[in-house]
Structure 1
């Protein structure tokens, strides 16, 4: 799949779901947003870029701690929701910009902090995106990432990637802790702190946010019911399909 084709697929998947993501409890709250606020608390003058901002929850958290935030996303519909929600919240230090992670339309050394939350698993070339992050960061700047993570173990990883793809065809890959450490190092940055966690996903809301077709919902449910006990236990798969994958949050310089 070419970058252009993947970009169009991501835009098509998320363009009509902006309000659902704004209202999603999974995206609107969480320990990662609380931790983000703490990590930014000593940066009141920071200029921040939020890559793959979605409905803007990380941008809103950052805007309460930093001087200025650019909310950046492929979807114009998402950015429209961010502008409206920022205005309603009285956050006048948020601007929006449209584009892809692999080609940031900003000069070198433009930002003190770059953040990204629940977006990186959609990037078609994560290495290129990370090199772009490094390029637009000022010397000594910081990159903060939050995302669903692969457990690393092959059988569990294959199951996670498969259900993610069935739910959302724009999904590319959830990376493990080890993969993230390697990718960040290869980009010329170094991880300073990493926090692992878990995120409970209520099944009906999870598939509804992406308008997953009924046939694919049935396929996901079949996979949940027929996998090994190890996978069922690891992901805490419940009778209604709800499950709990790993999460990762780190900051790098």
Structure 2
């Protein structure tokens, strides 16, 4: 990415460093109410999606798994329950703090918590068996760089799984969902988290995220093989996966 390039921050085009700063501010603002808002926005469906996601990852006892953008621990807790050794990474310290507190409340120990930039990880080559990221990749400033870093830190035979909002393809559903998300989600953000602007950005970031075939192509270009896409609810969300071989 050259210095003259811009990236999307919602519907705006901004400098990469400006997006990183603004995204950091968004998640600092919403950290304390993040999980409550997830329930409100999805009607609790995000819990079902995350359960399905972890079933696809198939964490195994003793595996080293990096859960990137893992913040509040939702995915990490599910995978740790299956015996995997989980490192939870997030660029935002406030989100990590919420996750650590939640782990203590639940009596969950043994997780490693680390502040990391997805596009510039501090881990050595080939040190993880799997890499997961749920509802986080669209907020990364340089997604191709993050995917290359993912490939780098995975061992040969390692797997990448990403759960992210996408573009619904069911006739009529896309229009209804667009109306709901643009009109109601920011109002929910105002009512529950006293932060309308952050949730307006989160809705806009979903609209700007690449469609399923395009994101699959980006994963392949990062070096992954056997790339698959599993749409959920007609593509409202999707699980993308690939293998390092």
Same fold judged by TM-score > 0.5? Answer: yes
Aligned positions, number: 204
Offset of residue 42 of structure 1: 5.5
| Match of residue 167 from structure 1 | 200
TM-score under structure 1 normalisation? 0.71
Summarize the Cα distance change of 1:42–1:100 in structure 2 as closer, same or farther, 3 Å threshold.
Answer: closer
CA pair 87-28 structure 1, distance change in 2 beyond 3 A: farther
CA contact (8 A) 2:54 2:75 kept: no
For residue 91 of structure 1, report the CA deviation from its aligned partner.
1.8
Cα offset, 1:18, TM superposition: 1.2
Match of 2:142 in 1: 125
Counterparts of 2:239 and 2:58 in 1: how far apart (Å)?
Answer: 17
Superposed displacement of residue 67, structure 1 = 2.5
Shift of 1:29: 4.2
Mapping for residues 178-217 of structure 1, pairs under 5 Å: 178-198=213-233
TM-superposed deviation, 1:40: 4.0
Deviation, structure 1 residue 90: 2.0
1:61, distance to aligned residue in structure 2 (A): 1.3
1:34/1:117 CA distance change after superposition, 3 Å: same
Residues 159, 242 of structure 2: 8 Å contact kept: yes
Partner SS, residue 30 of structure 1: helix
Alignment of 1:43-54 (within 5 A): 43-54=60-71
CA contact (8 A) 1:10 1:74 kept: no
**CA–CA distance in structure 1, aligned partners of residues 147 and 121 of structure 2:** 11
Cα 1:106/1:2, change in 2 over 3 Å: farther
Instruction: Give TM-score scaled by structure 2 length.
Output: 0.73
Does 112-121 or 167-176 show the bigger shift? 167-176
CA root-mean-square deviation: 2.9
2:124 is the alignment partner of 1:134 = no
**Unpaired runs of 5+ in structure 1?**
200-244
Deviations 1:52-93 (A, max 9, x none): 113221111121124311111121110000111112222212
